[in-house]
Structure 1
Amino acid sequence: MAKDDELRYGPPGESEVHICVDMQRMFAEATDWKMPWLPRVLPNILAVTAAYPERSLFTPFIPARKPGQGAGMWRHDYERWGR
Structure 2
Amino acid sequence: MCKKNYILNSLDDNLYDVYSLCKTAKKLWESVEKKYKIDDAGSKKFVIGKFLKYTMVNSKSVVSQVEEIQKLIYEPHSEGCKIKEHFQVGPII
TM-score, length-scaled by structure 1: 0.29
Q: Which has the higher strand share?
A: 1
Q: Kindly name which structure, 1 or 2, has the bigger radius of gyration based on alpha carbons.
A: 2
If asked which structure has higher relative contact order (CA below 8 Å, sep 6+), I would say: 1
Q: Which has the higher helix share?
A: 2
TM-score, length-scaled by structure 2: 0.28
